[in-house]
Amino acid sequence: MSTSHSPLSETVAEATRSRRAPDFITQAIQEDLASGRFDHVATRFPPEPNGYLHIGHAKAMCIDFGMAEKFGGRCNLRFDDTNPAKEEQEYVDAIIEDVRWMGFDFGERVYFASDYFEQMYEWAEDLIKKGRAYVCDLSPEEVSATRGTLTQPGTESPYRNRCVEENLDLFRRMRAGEFPEGSRTLRAKIDMAHPNLNMRDPVMYRILHREHHRTGKKWCIYPMYDWAHGLEDSIEGITHSLCSLEYENHRPLYDWFLDQLGIYHPRQIEFARLNMTYTVLSKRLLLQLVEEGYVSGWDDPRMPTLRGLRRRGYTPQAIRTFCELIGIAKTDSVVDVALLEHCVREDLNKSAPRVMAVLRPLRLVIDNYPEGKVEELEAINNPEDPGAGTRRVPFSKVLYIEQDDFRESPPAKYYRLYPGNEVRLRYAYYVRCTHCVKDAQGNVVEVHCTYDPATRGGQSADGRRVQATLHWVSAAHAVEGEVRLYDRLFKCADPLEVAPGHSFIENLNPHSLEVLRGCKLEPSLAKAAAGARYQFERLGYFCVDSADSRPGALVFNRTVALKDTWAKIARKGME
């Protein structure tokens, strides 16, 4: 695959351009409607149910459903379930759920290629009768060995010139289950010297004595994808069959089949697949990660699957915005994963309530604060959304702060807590550090400070300024929880770049998951519902894990940290 790694600034520039001019697919559809080639728009999203959907599929869905919506048409959800060896009902159910979660509307239009098997079979007999297909007794190995190469023509099968009667008889007996798996195929009779290898007598049917998740034992011959796909589009009256670039050189074959059969013809338009840094987007490789236990499942929050992203805290809107920004292109490129992270950050910034949580707690004792006193301080739920209101957070003599927010000997430009320094506790008071207490090993276990009662709410009456504001949680009121911090699943931008004999598995990032237990959360989080999203002040966006979190044993996933390298680079790119 020839891909170019586009720096962030280029992607932003491209996104800016594409917001001005309509993309090439929109233009093509506009032309078709203007010329009268089509008078409506019908598209489809055609996943094979052999794995869970990933962010690449989200891009395809945004295009398929997006174009239908843009032109007031319809988009079908169609399962390309032609290979019983790899497909399962579990995947069908998960895909339907994921498409719905993304918010795409397919109404009642859930279709299955397997519902068309009988019609496809009849069309295959048609082609045989027209002398355009033949039963071939070569083994799969022999078929590929005689295909030829890009520079050399293939060799014709010795069975190529069987008569129509013999072909019909053999094909019917294939269907009846008389022959073992792999012993025969039905092939299209096109041209073994064709410059496009897909046109060199491609296999249309193979014998597979397998039970299908929908048709059961009804069939023991199954259509090949290339034979089936164009027919499915034709049956459903698809006007614009939008697919990724790898199908470009299959298009002449789809056209050939439809022309030979003399049936309705959609227009196929190809777009570039989504590739993303630090990510693999192939169901085969994702399945390997799951099966070999490198991740906890298809919904592991580090996975680029829609389930993984959802569990991680991504919103459908953030994913849609991402797909909009990357636009639709004709050439493959690699998108920086930082753009996806940027999109979810922007979305959650508007919608996620702020709360305080201390991930690596250190006791802070306010020596001059009355023992046993508790104040309820007013905290703003979301400065971006005045309608989100305020809440009350308990404050008392003993608090937790982050270990990182105290240094006994501060490095240069360290403005947080150190002996003698004064900081603001968010929504509370100014406190000045007096000293710290250490254990036998010399670790700081407790920090002591005094507070200034005149700074309630975090403002000093005398205009005295501090250079840091820390988040905190009252020790007596804190709720405990587990927090899972995620880093990229792979340690290099292109995980598939490996030396011969090596596997992408070696590029896994050994530090992609860090589990913190005994984190201290503000008490309002005690009732946090599964899937709920928050901004932990100063730390990032987090959501309640939908699989492992229980009331009383909360588990949070970090969706994304606050720091936005993307926004910085993007601003530069715009200058």
Residues labelled catalytic: 48, 273, 283
| Nearest-approach distance from CB 340 to Mg ion, in angstroms | 23
298 vs 427, beta carbon nearer Mg ion: 298
Beta strands of 62-199 (E only): which ranges? Answer: 74-79, 110-112, 133-136, 185-188
**C-alpha 257 chain-centroid distance:** 34
Single out the residue of 6, 9, 146, 282 in contact with ligand ATP (rule: CB under 6 A): 282
59 binds, among ligand ATP, Mg ion, none (CB under 5 to 8 A by kind): ligand ATP
3-state secondary structure of 556: strand
Q: Using the rule CB under 6 A, is 496 a contact of ligand ATP?
A: no
Q: Using the rule CB under 6 A, is 67 a contact of ligand ATP?
A: no
Cβ–Cβ under 8 Å, residues 174 and 135: yes
What lies within 8 Å, CB to CB, of 444 at 6+ separation is 362, 403, 406, 408, 436, 437, 438
59 vs 213, beta carbon nearer ligand ATP: 59
Q: Using the rule CB under 6 A, is 283 a contact of ligand ATP?
A: yes
Q: Using the rule CB under 6 A, is 115 a contact of ligand ATP?
A: no
Q: Using the rule CB under 6 A, is 110 a contact of ligand ATP?
A: no
Q: Using the rule CB under 5 A, is 482 a contact of Mg ion?
A: no
Cβ–Cβ under 8 Å, residues 359 and 518: no
Q: Using the rule CB under 6 A, is 281 a contact of ligand ATP?
A: yes
Single out the residue of 60, 231, 289, 428 in contact with ligand ATP (rule: CB under 6 A): 60
Single out the residue of 8, 56, 104, 289 in contact with ligand ATP (rule: CB under 6 A): 56
Cβ–Cβ under 8 Å, residues 525 and 357: yes
Single out the residue of 48, 156, 169, 446 in contact with Mg ion (rule: CB under 5 A): 48
- For 481-492, the three-class secondary structure string (H helix, E strand, C coil) is EEEEEECCCECC
Q: CA of 52: how far to CAs of 58, 197, 283, 303, in Å? A: 11, 30, 7, 11
Helices (H) and strands (E) in the chain, counts: 14, 28
Single out the residue of 187, 273, 345, 533 in contact with ligand ATP (rule: CB under 6 A): 273
Q: Using the rule CB under 5 A, is 169 a contact of Mg ion?
A: no
282 binds, among Mg ion, ligand ATP, none (CB under 5 to 8 A by kind): ligand ATP
| Nearest-approach distance from CB 250 to Mg ion, in angstroms | 12
For 484, list phi and psi in degrees, rounded to 5.
-110, 120
Q: Which amino acid, 125? A: E
206 binds, among ligand ATP, Mg ion, none (CB under 5 to 8 A by kind): none
Other beta carbons within 10 Å of 127: 20
Query: Which of the stretches 15-23, 121-129, 275-283, 562-570 binds ligand ATP when contact is defined by CB under 6 A?
Result: 275-283
Which letter, b or e, does each residue of 253-262 get, where b requires 16 or more Cβ atoms within 10 Å of its Cβ? Answer: bbebbbebbe
- Using CB under 6 A as the criterion, what x/- string covers residues 25-54 for binding ligand ATP? ---------------------xxx------
What tokens appear for 264 in the block? 């309705």
| Beta pairing partners, 357 | 521
Other beta carbons within 10 Å of 477: 18
281 binds, among ligand ATP, Mg ion, none (CB under 5 to 8 A by kind): ligand ATP
Q: Using the rule CB under 6 A, is 243 a contact of ligand ATP?
A: yes
| Secondary structure element (H or E) that encloses residue 450, with its range | strand 444-452
Query: Which of the stretches 44-52, 378-386, 465-473, 540-548 binds Mg ion when contact is defined by CB under 5 A?
Result: 44-52
283 binds, among Mg ion, ligand ATP, none (CB under 5 to 8 A by kind): ligand ATP
| Nearest-approach distance from CB 248 to Mg ion, in angstroms | 15
81 vs 402, beta carbon nearer ligand ATP: 81
| Nearest-approach distance from CB 48 to Mg ion, in angstroms | 5
Q: Using the rule CB under 5 A, is 244 a contact of Mg ion?
A: no
| Nearest-approach distance from CB 253 to Mg ion, in angstroms | 16
Single out the residue of 42, 59, 229, 478 in contact with ligand ATP (rule: CB under 6 A): 59
Q: Using the rule CB under 6 A, is 84 a contact of ligand ATP?
A: no
- Site size toward ligand ATP, by CB under 6 A: 14
Give CA torsion, residues 476, 477, 478, 479, to 10 deg: 120
| Nearest-approach distance from CB 251 to ligand ATP, in angstroms | 13
Between CA 347 and CA 352 the distance in angstroms is: 8
Residues making up the chain, counted from first to last? 575
| Nearest-approach distance from CB 47 to ligand ATP, in angstroms | 4
Between CA 549 and CA 528 the distance in angstroms is: 10
Q: Using the rule CB under 6 A, is 240 a contact of ligand ATP?
A: no
Kind of pairing between the strands at 333-335 and 473-474: unpaired
Residue 549: burial class (beta carbons within 10 Å; 0-12, 13-18, 19+): buried
Q: Using the rule CB under 6 A, is 266 a contact of ligand ATP?
A: no
272 vs 485, beta carbon nearer ligand ATP: 272
Cβ–Cβ under 8 Å, residues 66 and 252: no
Between CA 473 and CA 355 the distance in angstroms is: 10
* Binding region for ligand ATP (CB under 6 A): 46-48, 56-57, 59-60, 243-244, 273-274, 281-283
* Binding region for Mg ion (CB under 5 A): 48
